[in-house]
Structure 1
Amino acid sequence: MNLWRSARDQGQTLSREQQSELDSLVEVELKATTARTAILLQQKHRSCKEIKTG
């Protein structure tokens, strides 16, 4: 990200290889964040059900 910010601030772009690597890292992070969110929502849903039936 620092390399991307530096290039952006200088009005430049990353090389194709660098941009591809960054895109892949962003994709992996997005998938991981989505998975964590799904787990949190499932936990919240379970907690709500337990409180209602408790």
Structure 2
Amino acid sequence: MAGGGGRSHGLSSSRSGPTSNLLFSCGKVAIVRTVKSGPNVGLKFHGCPLWPVSV
């Protein structure tokens, strides 16, 4: 989530400290995922627990 550029990822967080939860606009708490392919393999990021969703 580094950078900026004015993009919104649908996340919000409270500033209560390192144990605060990130919430997506759907109301679900973000989970930590790990990149499994490409140049960023092994890096961690916050992802939606509903992804991927079978529609």
TM-score, scaled to structure 2: 0.21
Relative to its length, the structure with more helix (as a share) is 1
Q: What's the TM-score once normalised by structure 1's chain length?
A: 0.21
Higher Rg of the two aligned structures = 1
**Higher normalized contact order (CA 8 Å, seq sep 6+, divided by chain length):** 2
- When you count strand as a share of all residues, which structure comes out higher? 2
